[in-house]
Amino acid sequence: MSTDGEGNRRAGVAGLQSCGSPWACPVCARKIAAQRSDELRDVLAAVAEAGGSVHMLTLTMRHHRGQTLGELWRALSKAWRAVTSGRAVERERERFGVLGMVRVIEATHGEHGWHLHVHALVAFDGPVSRELAEVLGSDMFGRWERALLRAGLAAPLEDRGGLDVRPVDLGAGSIDAVAEYLSKITIEITGGTLKEGRRGNRPPFALLADALADGNADDCERWLEWEQASRGRRQVAWSQGFREWAGMRREQTDEEIAAEDQGGTDTIAVEPEDWPELRPQLAEWLDVAERDGVEAASAWLTVRRIGWARVDRPPRR
């Protein structure tokens, strides 16, 4: 257990081999999300200090039940490259004063199959009105839509959910909220692992929880598809030079973050023979530990008859 710079608890698990997946591993995903959240917070603070502004753009695409996750993800990747490359991007940098962008992908599954869309923070070198940001967003959406059409897909109409542009408040509390939201939206670990999304859509870890709970073959297949399609893909992507502008260190890979010892204090040891019982409920347990503390986490284990012991060793270095 450790605390961040704001005094918030952070819970993790030690003594396990890391895989480095921000998508399919509840242990590594939480650790990677914490690091990415810190990075997002730092870059937003840098924009605020420089007198800039930020808007969040959301780009979506149409989908249907017969499309595979891999097919949709490949189309999304092509569309995002069209949004962020070419001469139009350089012209937009000059016209709008764009400092850089950070992109995060959100994924859910529902009645109509897999649903992927992009959230992007766009930073400007000065104050930019929502109206002007919407002009930029419309230009970006045009490239997004054309690329999807070339890939055999389509985007919803721009004014019917295909594009959403919202200003980001760069006050201290808002920076924290946006950073946490974007760093966790793709993994749905903290505060939402088992909750359904809008219109009954389920995030990936909810699929896993349901598959483990009832053994439903469809949910098992969907989770396997998720593991395979997400493998090796980046959770958070930065536009070229944006991190350097913000004075940030070299970006660590997901694998490097997962393998790094973040320090903290060991507080609870779970009996090895009880690990298989805890593993499918790990995200929920860590949520309890972060929200309510060690005593609540201990009680949670006791109620479920999972063997544990208090250790409270000195902080690991």
Amino acid at 135: V
Summarised one tens digit per residue, pLDDT across range 75-104 is: 999 999 999 999 999 999 999 999 999 999
Q: What CA–CA distance (Å, rounded) separates 241 from 238?
A: 8
Q: φ, ψ for residue 294 (rounded to 5)?
A: -65, -40
DSSP three-state, residue 42 = helix
Tell me the pTM: 0.78
DSSP E strand stretches across the chain: 2-3, 9-10, 53-60, 98-110, 113-124, 163-168, 236-238, 268-270, 308-310
Per-residue pLDDT of the chain (317 residues; tens, 9 = 90+): 455 545 566 677 776 666 778 888 877 887 888 888 888 889 999 999 999 999 999 999 988 888 999 999 999 999 999 999 999 999 999 999 999 999 999 889 998 899 998 999 999 999 999 999 999 999 999 999 999 999 988 888 777 778 999 999 888 778 878 877 776 664 543 333 444 444 578 888 888 888 888 888 999 999 999 999 998 888 889 999 999 999 998 888 888 887 776 556 778 888 888 888 887 777 788 878 888 888 888 999 999 888 888 886 544 43
Q: What CA–CA distance (Å, rounded) separates 210 from 220?
A: 9
Q: Using the Cα atoms of residue 155, residue 161, residue 165 and residue 167 in order, give the sign of their dihedral.
A: negative
Q: How far does Cα 157 stand from its chain's mean position?
A: 25
For residue 247, give Cα distances in angstroms to 129, 172, 187, 242. 26, 19, 27, 9
